[in-house]
A and B are shown apart, each in its own frame.
Chain A
Amino acid sequence: MSTKEKINVPVMADLFARGEKPEYLFWVGCAGAFDDRYKKVTRAFAKILNHMNVSYAVLGTEESCTGDPARRAGNEMLFQMQALANIEVLNCYEVQMILTICPHCYNIFKNEYPDLGGQYETINYLEFLKEEIDKGTLKIDSDIFKNNTITYHDPCYLGRANGIYAAPRKVLDSIPSKKVEMARNKSFALCCGAGGAQMFKEAEKGDKEVFIERTEDVLKTNADIIATACPFCMTMMSDGLKYKNKEEEIKNLDIAELIAESLNL
């Protein structure tokens, strides 16, 4: 996958100026825009969208934090200031459908913005990809992962928080490869340790880091790819693999990257 070339990504303000309205708003999220590792995931998904000629746009410089870490850390005031400002921008562009990769952004648009007057149809990228695979509009015929064993780590905010367990597995099933489940999976899955604003602080004193406990679950499966679907899980599982000196043997890839690579994008 080449990572150098610039990807052509439509920006909402430009489309609006031309009097166009895209079908989806692709909400990139802060990690998607700023985290060096996770930017590759954003790029992968944007390439998939372009490959499928999806009508979408991003907010670009007009995007701002949804307020999730603030709300979960107890700063309701800051959360609501972010939310109300974001809702104003979204409503100004008459956004109806929001496409997210980050499960935390997804959860907040789907479940929490409606309380503040932000009513949108929110779709997680895995639901979106599953839909396209089911419809036959997204076909994967590469077998570059056919010798790999993939295990999927459920992000809390897709799984328990919103009951999305089948879509990610369905998407992974479209990639020819071996699949294996960790002992704790789906609603039993162990958190990576980064939710609820933990991502941004040191953990409290304990015997062990949560991400190490979860990485050990991965190691027990003998998988050589961890498929993640959340920027925080990506960071934590990568740290876990480094801690266990396994980053050479086991790759940590987002499902969007697996799809993009399979499509040779």
Chain B
Amino acid sequence: MSEQLIFIAALIITLGVFTYTVIRLASFFRLTRPLPVKNIDKRIGVMMKVAIGQTKIFRFPVIGLLHALVFWGFCVILIGSIEMVIDGITGTEHALKFLGSVYDIIMASGDIFAVIIAAAIIVFLVRRFFLHVRRFSGIEMTHKSHRDANFALTLILLLMLTLLGMNIGYVAGHPGGYEGVYPASKAIVTLFSLSTSDFTHSLYKINWWAHILTIFFFANYLPYSKHFHVFMSVPNVFLSRLEPLGKLPNMDSITEEVRSMLDPETAYAESPAGEEEQIERFGVLDIEDINWKNYLDSLACTQCGRCTSVCPANITGKKLSPRKIIMNVRERMNEKGPGLVKNGKEYTDNKSLIRDYITEEELWACTTCNACAQECPININHPTLIVEMRRYLVMEEAAAPGELNAIFTNIENNGAPWQFSPEDRLLWTEK
């Protein structure tokens, strides 16, 4: 009974902290611009393929397979964790055993996956500590990012070891028979000829508690870590852009303006009285100009750097790093979000996303080749955000590089980026 009370207290604290986090994030999301979500059926397909099927992570086949195994393993092990919560609250043992042979399959695969995940995590840690993986470095990869990565990986390793410890203690403690099937743990029990004893009993108990408390801690650590992607990736894929990568979103506010300019009826008409709505800024200067999906992208990004590793600008030594752009969004929201929530839309800290976080030099280096978006395992779209920031620079500040201003003038005057007359458009037929 007292164990139950401790468990329930721990659970309430966990849920309490988590609720605080959710409320905080929701208040940040409310600061962002709207973006409609359509085509739910298509989205389910994309989610099944890219998130559940892990198709894009396999573009890096070896490490991709390890990641996919960790992901699928997590999905199976999650069922066991839910059972542990039920057991913890109600005082039962193996509450889901009524599932029969399905239960055996879940437990057996969870047990085997625990070994696979532990091995994969060790490989990941070895890579981070001893091998030089180019995409793990870069100006945006601070000491803090690396520490965060190593800490989260260690937590996952701890989760797997405690799960195995728990299973080993359980199997060894019940020589007469037990619920579920645990092939890996059984093998270890046989190998070390473990038999039921006080040791196996406390092995089970200690690991049970260590496992569930680590989960509780992990769940509340994640939202403040790059490993938030454990929660956010699947929703992020579900909500990702469905259009071809080449398509940029249309600015409907501009369309209205251009149409009224082109239409002689309305070109000189006064705007209807009483409709003095607040004019939205063109493009993105700061965090309140992004849409909610840009913010979700930034929360779901796990800084894997696949985007940056294929960016032509970054490969050739330019400052642009698509990963940095996404990370900057999250950092800037953490900095300015609380002030905006507290003081309202007019709040300013005399800083902005462009310039204080992202330089113009970075923004102008993008070729919009979409290699970053193609590579992102969770369908983050970097180029549209980069173009949104260019839109701000060009339309609000007229701050394009000089050569681009020249082509704007040419397009306006003679309908081509170069200075040629439209009259000469058929000369190619002659020579």
Tell me the A residues contacting B by CB distance below 8 Å.
3-4, 6-9, 11, 28, 30, 32-35, 39, 42-43, 46, 58-65, 67, 69-78, 80-82, 84-85, 107, 110-112, 115-116, 156-157, 160-163, 187-188, 190-191, 193-210, 212-214
With A72-B368, A156-B370 in contact, do A208 and B427 touch (Cβ < 8 Å)? Answer: no
B53 within 8 A of partner (CB): no
Kindly list chain A residues whose C-beta atoms are within 8 Å of the C-beta of B371. Answer: 156, 160, 190-191
A191 engages B422 (CB within 8 Å): no
Kindly list chain A residues whose C-beta atoms are within 8 Å of the C-beta of B425. Answer: 28, 33-34, 59-61, 63
B365 within 8 A of partner (CB): yes
List B355-397 residues whose CB lies under 8 Å from chain A.
361, 364-371, 373-374, 383, 387, 389-395
Kindly list chain B residues whose C-beta atoms are within 8 Å of the C-beta of A7. Answer: 429
With A28-B428, A207-B316, A208-B316 in contact, do A74 and B391 touch (Cβ < 8 Å)? Answer: yes
B247 engages A112 (CB within 8 Å): yes
B313 engages A80 (CB within 8 Å): no
Kindly list chain A residues whose C-beta atoms are within 8 Å of the C-beta of B280. Answer: none
List B93-151 residues whose CB lies under 8 Å from chain A.
none
The CA-CA distance from A107 to B369 in the complex, in Å, is 12
With A76-B282, A116-B250, A160-B371 in contact, do A208 and B366 touch (Cβ < 8 Å)? Answer: no
B424 within 8 A of partner (CB): yes
For residue B390, give the distance in angstroms from its CB to the closest CB of chain A. 3
Contact flags (1/0) for B316-341 with A, using CB distance below 8 Å? 11111000000000000000000000
A4 engages B258 (CB within 8 Å): no
Kindly list chain B residues whose C-beta atoms are within 8 Å of the C-beta of A197. Answer: 404, 407
Kindly list chain B residues whose C-beta atoms are within 8 Å of the C-beta of A9. Answer: 426, 429
With A203-B318, A206-B313 in contact, do A196 and B369 touch (Cβ < 8 Å)? Answer: yes
Kindly list chain B residues whose C-beta atoms are within 8 Å of the C-beta of A111. Answer: 243-244, 246-247
Identity of the chain A residue whose Cβ is nearest the Cβ of B370 in the assembled complex: A160
Kindly list chain B residues whose C-beta atoms are within 8 Å of the C-beta of A210. Answer: 312-313, 315-316, 367
The CA-CA distance from A167 to B428 in the complex, in Å, is 26
B259 engages A64 (CB within 8 Å): no
Given contact pairs A8-B429, A107-B247, A197-B404, a sample of 10 additional A-B residue pairs in the complex whose CB atoms are under 8 Å apart: A60-B426, A78-B411, A82-B415, A111-B246, A161-B245, A201-B403, A205-B317, A206-B319, A210-B312, A210-B315
For residue B57, give the distance in angstroms from its CB to the closest CB of chain A. 14
Kindly list chain B residues whose C-beta atoms are within 8 Å of the C-beta of A69. Answer: 407, 411, 417
B255 engages A80 (CB within 8 Å): yes
The CA-CA distance from A6 to B427 in the complex, in Å, is 9
Identity of the chain A residue whose Cβ is nearest the Cβ of B388 in the assembled complex: A74
Tell me the B residues contacting A by CB distance below 8 Å.
59, 243-248, 250-251, 254-255, 257-259, 261-262, 282-283, 310, 312-313, 315-320, 361, 364-371, 373-374, 383, 387, 389-395, 400-401, 403-404, 406-408, 411-412, 415-418, 420, 422-431
For residue B84, give the distance in angstroms from its CB to the closest CB of chain A. 42
Identity of the chain A residue whose Cβ is nearest the Cβ of B246 in the assembled complex: A161
Contact for A33 among B316, B366, B427, CB less than 8 A: B427
Identity of the chain B residue whose Cβ is nearest the Cβ of A32 in the assembled complex: B428
Kindly list chain A residues whose C-beta atoms are within 8 Å of the C-beta of B389. Answer: 74
The CA-CA distance from A72 to B261 in the complex, in Å, is 22
Kindly list chain A residues whose C-beta atoms are within 8 Å of the C-beta of B369. Answer: 156, 160, 191, 195-196
B258 engages A162 (CB within 8 Å): no
25 cross-chain CB contacts under 8 A: A59-B425, A60-B425, A61-B422, A63-B415, A69-B407, A73-B400, A74-B395, A75-B400, A84-B255, A107-B246, A110-B246, A111-B246, A112-B247, A112-B248, A116-B250, A156-B369, A160-B246, A188-B310, A190-B312, A193-B312, A204-B313, A204-B361, A204-B365, A208-B316, A214-B312
A209 engages B316 (CB within 8 Å): yes
The CA-CA distance from A34 to B365 in the complex, in Å, is 26
Interface centre among B374, B415, B430 (most CB of A within 10 A): B415
Kindly list chain B residues whose C-beta atoms are within 8 Å of the C-beta of A198. Answer: 367
The CA-CA distance from A187 to B58 in the complex, in Å, is 13
The CA-CA distance from A45 to B249 in the complex, in Å, is 32
Kindly list chain B residues whose C-beta atoms are within 8 Å of the C-beta of A163. Answer: 244
The CA-CA distance from A153 to B430 in the complex, in Å, is 29
Kindly list chain B residues whose C-beta atoms are within 8 Å of the C-beta of A74. Answer: 283, 387, 389-395, 400
Kindly list chain B residues whose C-beta atoms are within 8 Å of the C-beta of A156. Answer: 367-371
For residue A26, give the distance in angstroms from its CB to the closest CB of chain B. 12
A195 engages B318 (CB within 8 Å): no
For the complex of A and B, the 7 pairs showing the least CB-CB separation, nearest first, are A161-B246, A74-B390, A207-B317, A196-B368, A64-B415, A191-B369, A206-B317
Kindly list chain B residues whose C-beta atoms are within 8 Å of the C-beta of A72. Answer: 248, 368, 387, 390
B424 engages A191 (CB within 8 Å): no
For residue A191, give the distance in angstroms from its CB to the closest CB of chain B. 3
Kindly list chain B residues whose C-beta atoms are within 8 Å of the C-beta of A30. Answer: 415-418, 420
Interface centre among A76, A107, A190, A191 (most CB of B within 10 A): A76
B408 engages A78 (CB within 8 Å): yes
A64 engages B422 (CB within 8 Å): yes
Interface centre among A3, A6, A107, A201 (most CB of B within 10 A): A201
Kindly list chain B residues whose C-beta atoms are within 8 Å of the C-beta of A199. Answer: 417
Kindly list chain B residues whose C-beta atoms are within 8 Å of the C-beta of A81. Answer: 258, 261-262, 412
